[in-house]
Amino acid sequence: MNGILNFISRIGQLDRRWIFLIIALVVLIPLFFPLGLPIRATESTRLVWETVENLEPESKVLLSLEYGPSTKPELHPMVFALVRHLLKNDHKIYMTCLWPDGQFMAEDLIEKVIELEFPDKSYGEDYVLLGFRPGGEAVIKGIVSNIRKLYTVDARNLSVDEIPMMEAVNQFKDFDFLFSASAGFPGTVEWVQYASDPTGVPMSTGTTSIQVNEVMPYVQGGQVKGILAGMPGAAEYEALIGVPGIGTSGMDAQSIAHVVIVLFIIFGNVAYFVERKKAKKY
């Protein structure tokens, strides 16, 4: 018994660099040898999918990208999946960015998904990148009151008046649906407060995992129609539209890493109690 306790105690004093190495390995190995663990959509992911599915054809969808390279692995896969779904159902996509890096993400999205997989869709008629405007919530207020005052030109410096799909789009109420892909401030919370709640235009969101707790009350209260929660949310959405992507391929690593972290937490706690017991004894 003493031997086991000593072993646990020694494990508790393990150099943290070994833990980093183990985590790196358990993330890396499933990327090389995928296990194909099943992915089941949660209610909140399914709600996003159903909301998009129930939109009338050729609906005007405002897609706001509020993230950059630092959170790309979590949000980019879900935006890819959502855009595939929207374009498959023939909706019009208007892209705005509240973060400057969001514009790069949008350009990457256009290059890798829209132009490659939907060559029949044309810029200005089926999708448009309005681009980044600084100002945080003031930009949202601007879009709500008069989008044309804020965006006189798009990200490609084309006059908004000359873009066919911008016809009859003057304010936020002219959109049928909003999807906010958000990694923080300004993002989903601000869209709820200044755009969706005051105007009644339905919105869904995809956020980084760390933001889920903050946004979930809006989802449960019905103010936001579903949430894609981090990389698992993206993987679930990919499963729902039947197009596996980057989100799906990362889920094995994610699941195994979680199991290992849980084991570390249990070991850490047991080691702590063993140490405490020892300290009391002597």
Partner 1 sequence: MSGEILGAWIAVFLTLAIFSYLYKDNAFYKIAEHIFVGISAGYWTSMFFWTQIQPNLFGRLWPSKQYDADSFWYGIYDALSWINTSIFPAGGIDKGHEMHLIYLLPFALGIMMLLSVFDKLSWFARWGIAYTVGMAAGLRAYGYLNSNVIAQVRNSTLNFSDPDLPFFALIGNSYFNSILLLVGTISGLLYFYFSKEQKGVFGKVARVGIYFLMVSFGASFGFAVMGRISLLIGRFVDLITYNDAYYHHATIWVLILMVLALGYSAFKEKGSPKPS
Q: Give yes or no for residue 133 binding partner 1 (CB under 8 A).
A: yes
Q: Give yes or no for residue 70 binding partner 1 (CB under 8 A).
A: yes
Distance CA 91, CA 282 (A): 71
Q: Give yes or no for residue 71 binding partner 1 (CB under 8 A).
A: yes
- Which pair of tokens denotes residue 269? 């706690």
State the nearest-atom distance from the C-beta of 20 to partner 1, in Å. 5
Question: What is the 3-class SS of 37-48, one letter each residue?
Answer: CCCCCCHHHHHH
Q: Give yes or no for residue 51 binding partner 1 (CB under 8 A).
A: no
Q: Give yes or no for residue 14 binding partner 1 (CB under 8 A).
A: no
**CB count in 10 Å sphere of residue 269:** 11
Contact assessment for residue 96 and residue 131, using Cβ atoms and an 8 Å cutoff: yes
State the nearest-atom distance from the C-beta of 50 to partner 1, in Å. 14
Instruction: By CB under 8 A, name the one of 163, 208, 228, 245 that touches partner 1.
Output: 208
Sign of the alpha-carbon torsion through 214, 217, 220, 223? negative
State the nearest-atom distance from the C-beta of 87 to partner 1, in Å. 24
Which residues in 100-119 contact partner 1 (CB under 8 A)?
Answer: 100
Distance CA 10, CA 4 (A): 10
Stretch that binds partner 1, among 21-29, 87-95, 116-124, 172-180 (CB under 8 A): 21-29
CA end-to-end distance (rounded Å), the chain? 18
Q: Give yes or no for residue 23 binding partner 1 (CB under 8 A).
A: yes
State the nearest-atom distance from the C-beta of 242 to partner 1, in Å. 22
User: How many residues interact with partner 1 (rule CB under 8 A)?
Assistant: 58
Amino acid type, 17: R
Instruction: By CB under 8 A, name the one of 10, 88, 258, 278 that touches partner 1.
Output: 258
Stretch that binds partner 1, among 84-92, 108-116, 186-194, 273-281 (CB under 8 A): 186-194
State the nearest-atom distance from the C-beta of 34 to partner 1, in Å. 12
Sheet holding 177-182, edge to edge: 127-132, 92-97, 60-66, 177-182, 203-207, 227-229
Distance CA 252, CA 130 (A): 36
Stretch that binds partner 1, among 86-94, 106-114, 125-133, 171-179 (CB under 8 A): 125-133
Element (H, E) at 219: helix 212-220
For partner 1, the closer of residues 8 and 260 by Cβ is 260
Distance CA 182, CA 203 (A): 13
Which residues in 233-252 contact partner 1 (CB under 8 A)?
Answer: 246, 249-250
Burial of 187 from C-beta contacts in 10 A (0-12 / 13-18 / 19+): buried
Judged by the rule CB under 8 A, the positions of this chain that interact with partner 1 are 17, 20, 23-24, 27-28, 31-32, 43, 70-74, 100, 131-135, 137-138, 141, 152-153, 159-161, 190, 192-194, 197-198, 208-213, 217-218, 220-223, 229-232, 246, 249-250, 253-254, 257-258, 261
